[in-house]
Amino acid sequence: MLKDTLIGFELYPFQKTKKRKAKTKSKFYFFDCGVANYFSRRLPMPVNSSDLGVNFEQFLIQEVRAYLSYTKTRKEVFYWRSKEHEVDLVVGDELALEFKMSSSFKPEFAKGLKALREEGLIKKFMVVGRFSTGGVHENIEYLSYETFLKRLWAGKLIGH
């Protein structure tokens, strides 16, 4: 009922991998972070709360979904999780994204992306955070969420 009334949506697991067995359980997101926080009684949320990372991830997933909808781009979105690794969002076969609330990039942020890259199924890999600078680590780009959103809405990340 929550999906039918557009109050929430499911993010299904990406299961095309061959080297690592993917988890099969979907994730549920409310249409708005505030609704999720209200129902889980996380309000008011302390500044150092780990739930801020959950909200940051949901915000960026919602932005990607909004972009795909507004531009009528027919790409499915998934998340990927194996026994040891997770990637927050996979957009078709084009882009795999890891979202981090951190203000500085750390190489361990790219672990899940590197594991998924070994499958040879996705074209681009990115870590998006609150970073002050961007760069590339082992052929995985990392950038600020502001830069990510500008490039997303300019049509420079996902093809139609």
Residue 138 CA to residue 142 CA, distance in Å, equals 10
Predicted structure pTM score: 0.85
Q: What is the pLDDT of residue 87?
A: 96
Q: What is the pLDDT of residue 11?
A: 79
What pLDDT digit, counting tens, does each position of 102-153 carry? 999 999 999 999 999 999 999 999 999 999 999 999 999 999 999 999 999 9
Cβ proximity of 22 and 83 under 8 Å: no
Share above pLDDT 70 across residues of the chain, in percent, rounded to a whole number? 78
What pLDDT digit, counting tens, does each position of 42-52 carry? 656 666 766 77
Q: What is the pLDDT of residue 26?
A: 74
* CB neighbour class for 72 (10 Å; exposed up to 12, middle 13-18, buried from 19): exposed
Say which residues have a Cβ less than 8 Å from residue 131's Cβ, sequence separation at least 6.
102, 103, 104, 105, 142, 143, 144
Q: What is the pLDDT of residue 1?
A: 53
Amino acid at 70: Y
Which residue ranges form the domains of the chain, and what is each CATH number?
8-153 (3.40.1350)
For 123, what's the count of Cα atoms within 13 Å in the CB-facing half-sphere? Answer: 8
